[in-house]
Amino acid sequence: MSKAGYDGPLEQVNACCWRIPKSYREGMRVDGLIYADEHMIEEIRGDQAPEQVANVAFLPGIQHASLAMPDIHWGYGFPIGGVCATDPAEGGVISPGGVGYDINCGVRLMRTNLFYQDVKPHLRKLMDRLFADIPAGVGQGGKHRFKKKELRRLLEVGVPFLQSRNLATDGDVAHTEAGGCLEEAVPEYVSDRALERGLNQCGTLGSGNHFAEIQVVDAVFDDHAARVMGLDKDMICVMIHSGSRGLGYQVCDDALKKLRGVPAKYGIDLPDRQLACAPVESPEGEEYLGAMCAAANFAWCNRQLLMWQARESFEAVFGKNWEQLQMNLIYDVAHNIAKFETHTIDGRERRVCVHRKGATRAFPANHPETPEAYQEIGQPVIIPGDMGRASWVLTGQDGSMEQSFGTCCHGAGRRMSRTAAVKHAKGRRIDQELAQQGIIARARSRRGLAEEQPDAYKDVNVVVNVVHKANLASKVARMRPLGVVKG
């Protein structure tokens, strides 16, 4: 994160929203809007992320506003928590910086029929088994390996490819965003280097903020929505957070190199070269989009295999198959992605390219892309917090369609860089501190735990309060961590 703060204008729109007027800098095509409360906005001013919100407002074809969620912090090009929609019919662009290096980094939540008292005596054994079964850490390969031809097929069709191998069910597909497949994927646009990096990484957790977590539902705020999701107080859940691993990183890296001179080619003037982009309707834009969608399909498959391995761990510890344990997927949402969606803008429906970078869909009830199981209540919105506090599940609300292109925050958001977090943890044992809270942490390195310590993140409860009050998403249940596997 940048050390310098933001000293530009921030006008309060309401209790949950602040405006950077497009008059702030010549070249801004729309205003910037940041969702935050009065306390959070002061912390946000201490970072340069609001300047990035203003930078995004320069992009050709941008609609309504350059948006940022309350988990906003400094990122590459776009801030983390940044959202923008561009209209291809108006020369709208697609920007890898608006998706991120970890394409389709996302999170999935799985319920069980186990309750806290059922798991408490077996928790240490369960965490040991998960840590043994789920490959975690930098460069770790997994047991699910694919030949290049198979991997290309996986990139093309996503989770249904795993279903053909009995590694996914109809229910898994139905409860994954987009059915676990973006049809615009073009595996031929994925480089050989990216393919090499992905051959043995599908079904691996990775490092950084990725995790597999055992959680218990400690509070229910919407009884009806919780019942629809199959959740109950004191029920055990599993949350998995990971993305497209080295394959997705390489796709982004390849694209940024190819797009370096493209804005100038199309006469696009940008305030930050990290916003490198191409018109959606251009050969360069189409190539990035095809590769990005392929990487997104890989990420959904990665989380599917991670969930499958978690199911196998529970089976081994509890002596029942996962179906008997009712380990059903509630939902899987993407956090780093660009998707074509229809939204009402200035009174008319338009097909736009929505960039969500550290942000997630929050589609309401009765929306055509809300899964059938949740048509009545709205799409589940999964917001993980740090490993010492809580995570949340909410439902998308109509306000998200009116304000944010159907978007909500994706997590708590960092408030401390990884370097600063390691310095802050000097002389401490984060695993022991978590153990004192009753949380078992398993990690490949102490540094990884130091980087991801609870103090490094904003309070997820405060972040969730903002999106709830703003009517972007509505609280359903809060889960507290019992055990976590980190890279």
Answer whether residue 103 shows pLDDT above 90.
Answer: yes
Q: What is the mean pLDDT of residues 377-395?
A: 96
- Tell me the pLDDT tens digit for each residue of 177-186: 999 999 999 9
**CA proximity to 159, closest of 177, 147, 143:** 177
CA distance 278 to 288: 9
CA distance 298 to 86: 25
- Tell me the pLDDT tens digit for each residue of 110-126: 999 999 999 999 999 99
Q: Report yes or no on 2 lying in a domain.
A: no
Q: Following DSSP, what letter does each residue of 375-419 receive, concatenated?
A: TTT--EEEE---TTS-EEEEEE-HHHHHHSSSEEE-S--BSS-HH
Q: Which letter does DSSP use for residue 431 in this model? A: H
CA distance 485 to 76: 27
Q: Report yes or no on 280 lying in a domain.
A: yes
What strand order describes the sheet that includes 80-86?
11-14, 17-20, 31-35, 65-73, 80-86, 348-357, 336-345
The CATH number that applies at residue 38 is 3.90.1860.10
CA distance 335 to 45: 24
Answer whether residue 1 shows pLDDT above 60.
Answer: no
Q: Which letter does DSSP use for residue 176 in this model? A: B
Q: Report yes or no on 101 lying in a domain.
A: no
Confidence tier at 418 by pLDDT (50, 70, 90): confident
Amino acid at 28: M
Answer whether residue 300 shows pLDDT above 90.
Answer: yes
Q: Report yes or no on 271 lying in a domain.
A: yes
Q: Are 44 and 462 in contact (CB under 8 A)?
A: no
Give the pLDDT score at 3.
Answer: 53
- Tell me the pLDDT tens digit for each residue of 242-265: 999 999 999 999 999 999 999 999
Answer whether residue 394 shows pLDDT above 80.
Answer: yes
- Tell me the pLDDT tens digit for each residue of 260-298: 999 999 999 999 999 999 999 999 999 999 999 999 999
Given the residues 210, 335, 410, 468, the one annotated as active site: 410
Higher pLDDT, 425 or 355: 355
In the residue annotation, 410 being an active-site residue is answered as yes
**CA proximity to 403, closest of 344, 357, 333, 466:** 344
Answer whether residue 361 shows pLDDT above 70.
Answer: yes
Q: Report yes or no on 6 lying in a domain.
A: no
CA distance 454 to 429: 13
CA distance 161 to 167: 9
- Tell me the pLDDT tens digit for each residue of 142-199: 889 999 999 999 999 999 999 999 999 999 999 999 999 999 999 999 999 999 999 9
**CA proximity to 67, closest of 466, 417, 379, 354:** 354
- Tell me the pLDDT tens digit for each residue of 61-72: 999 999 999 999
Whole-number average pLDDT of the chain: 96
CA distance 96 to 274: 9
**469 is in which domain, residue-wise?**
11-91+107-486
Q: How many domains, in total, are found in the chain?
A: 1
- Tell me the pLDDT tens digit for each residue of 5-60: 999 999 999 999 999 999 999 999 999 999 999 999 999 999 999 999 999 999 99
Q: Is 152 left (phi over 0), alpha (psi -120 to 50) or beta?
A: alpha
Q: Report yes or no on 310 lying in a domain.
A: yes
Q: Report yes or no on 65 lying in a domain.
A: yes
CA atoms within 13 A on the CB side of 480: 13
CA atoms within 13 A on the CB side of 13: 14
Tell if the pTM clears 0.85, that is, is over it: yes
Q: Report yes or no on 99 lying in a domain.
A: no
Strand, coil or helix: 233: coil
Under 8 Å CB-to-CB from 156, ≥6 apart: which residues? 185, 187, 294, 297
